[in-house]
Amino acid sequence: MKFRIARVIGLLAVTLSSAAAAASLDTLGVQEQEKGIRERSEFSISKPYDLLKISRFSIIYRSGNNGIFNLMNHPVYNSYVEDLYINPTGASIAILPKNRRDLSIISNRIENLTLANIKGERKTVPGTSGKEKKEVPAITAVTYTSDAREVLTANSLGEISTYSTDGYHLMSVINTGKTYDLIAISPNKYFIAASHGSEMDIWNVETADLKRIVRFAGRINHITFSPDSREIAVSCDTAGLHIVNSIDHRRNTVTRGVLDVRCASFHPEGKYLAYARKDSVIVYNLINRSVVCRLGSAFGSPLSNIITLNFHANNGVVTLSHNSGNKVIFWDMTSLPPLYKSQLSEEVDKLMTDWIRQMDGESMEEYRVRVTDDNAARQKAMLLDQAATAIATQTIKLENPFIGEEYDSENHAIDIKFNELNTIKLEIPEDEFNEVRNGNLSYENPVYTLDENDEFQLVYLEVVNEATDKIYIFDKRSYIIEDVAFEDEGLDFIPVAMLQTVNMEMEALQEQTRQIMEERKQENVITDKTEITINSEIQSDFDAEGNKIYNYNLNYQYDVSEGFSYQEDFGPGKFMVNESNAALTMLEAIRTALGGDMKKYLDEAKAIDITITGTADAIPVGRIPYDGACGEFNETPYYAKDELSSMTVTAETDIRNNEQLAFIRAASVKTWLEDKVEELKTYKDKCIYNYRTEVSDVRGGEFRRIIVEIKFRDIFNE
């Protein structure tokens, strides 16, 4: 659920000091290290280069006619390439030859290995003297989707073509009538941004409609979407850096009077943006619109000739990488404050899910009186403060403040300044000034809220003078919980009726699953050592027009008690679904649900995302024969936990490691669902299957299991 956090109004409310407050475009290296941003490592590029691309941890550069090389300066491809585009998984690279007529996919692991070719087709084009001729149009721009499942090309005939990376077959074509220099597609695949010269066009992917033409004062050097798909960063040579809203197309200028912004990259959480000039990298806070820092040197040397940069995360560690002269620099960015509103939303979601459920012993009449839209809004407002306070107290320490030396007669207050907060004015009687000033003070029961700048504000505090036992209250809360209503603009709330419907459906699904499990126990297929858990939630989202939509997530997973996996779940090295009675029982419950009450959502949903998580323990696999029963996989995109990667498993390779074993367990589930669930066959054009793996570093059958999450997109439409 995306929350807009209620704003706390009041001049005396105190704000957590932003790291950006003292930053300027002239801030240099030493000051960055004080902020916690520091150089992590650097790598030398041994050959002269004229083109360099970065995608997560893959860095590829072109050295003239000598071909392209990786960061270790090893050759990847020994012939000249006109341009190159790294697959987001890092496993392959799309390259263009000098004539730009074909697109070749080469391996990033094996030198000079071509994985696929997308051949250009001869088409009728205008010729000289008004005569038509046939030729293969030139490819002018290429981009990948963020999940690496598609690659898009723009050509000289004004076509934007989309190809699946699974076999590289053509999926769709948009006839734009324009020749583009750059293209980018939003992570949610709603929008394509395409530029030529100083103009950028925004296209609706589904309808193939041109939504807006955005013009700039200088040539566009680079375009990229934010992680939430709502914003486009546009870097220009003479017009600086701009942020364009992908929905309403409003424009904000990040730089003023700054020329030649070469490229930009969004922080994985979307709170920050890094952009490059020739000799510096600037990190910018998009929420409070301020510069965090300017990186002008690294490891004692000034930055120079920066071509590209990239923000990326790996196992929770955020890194910013870019070239500089003959080096590639990696910066540790983990000290940047996180996107607190995202943490807050997740926490409040969990608490509200518990609150919305009917309590044990609560009658239906009592439940309906307690759980109304207005009561839910009040509950959420209270939980927002509770969750904000819980998060803030982990960051902010109310210790050793500076106590003002003079009494503020106008406000009848004394100033108190904490290290991580701005000054608060604590109201006290004037005749108690000295005893407070010299007293033994403690600070209790703080309450924080989160403002629209993603900064914590202290809105309530009890100051206790332990010498006199007197308590002084700082209270700048801007609303009374009892006055909050469902319609309040500050609260983004899912209607209670919708949540109640989902809860009742989940109870029915749980009872249905319990009956299936009892039947399987009677058949001696499983025992009470197998448990199946079902969770559901509603998430608010938006469509390509910016309208609010709702997605319904349904999650199934099972657990088998330690020591019983051999009998009821996958044995070591086993991966076919029919080798796990626990997995089969859970899948039977899913099939029954989709054929029953959930069938209406299959029909209503605009798309159905099915994410299958396969897991494995730490027992070494050696080599497990694989006959291709679940498919042949060549650099197939998947998620290792939450990190995008690629997987190769074929009848030729067999299964050689635990990651492959976990992946094939997930693939076996997909095969079963496609073969055994009639409703998924009926709606197969809506279904998008995603693979995910988890591999434990501990041995044990309890780490061999399956999780299935089904997301019905854009439902509950009125």
| pLDDT (tens digit per residue) in 438-458 | 889 999 999 999 988 999 989
Rounded distance between C-alpha atoms, residue 379 and residue 386, angstroms: 10
- What per-residue confidence (pLDDT) applies to 492? 63
CB 1 within 8 A of CB 540: yes
How far is the CA of 652 from the CAs of 305, 616, 623, 627, in angstroms? Answer: 45, 22, 12, 8
Strand pairing report for 251-253 and 263-266: unpaired
- What per-residue confidence (pLDDT) applies to 125? 76
pTM for the structure as a whole: 0.89
Instruction: Identify the CA nearest to 347 among candidates 393, 385, 318.
Output: 385
Segments of 97-168 assigned E as strands:
103-107, 114-118, 123-126, 132-135, 139-144, 150-155, 159-164
Domains of the chain: 20-42+51-336 (2.130.10.10), 341-483 (no CATH), 496-715 (no CATH)
The string of pLDDT tens digits covering residues 171-190 is 999 999 999 999 999 999 99
Rounded distance between C-alpha atoms, residue 195 and residue 211, angstroms: 14
β-pair partners for 125: 133
Strand pairing report for 687-695 and 607-616: parallel
- What per-residue confidence (pLDDT) applies to 84? 98
Rounded distance between C-alpha atoms, residue 295 and residue 302, angstroms: 9
CB 472 within 8 A of CB 465: yes
pLDDT < 50 regions, the chain: 1-34, 484, 486-488
Alpha carbon 390 to its chain centroid, in Å, reads 24
> In the block, which residue shows the tokens 């750059």?
182
- What per-residue confidence (pLDDT) applies to 15? 32
| Tokens read off for 22 | 């003292």
Rounded distance between C-alpha atoms, residue 95 and residue 81, angstroms: 6
| DSSP secondary structure, 45-81, as one string | --S--SEEEEETTEEEEE-GGG-EEETT--EEE-S--
The two most distant CA atoms of the chain are separated, in Å, by 99
Sign of CA dihedral 145, 150, 151, 152: negative
Backbone angles phi, psi at 153, to 5 degrees: -130, 145
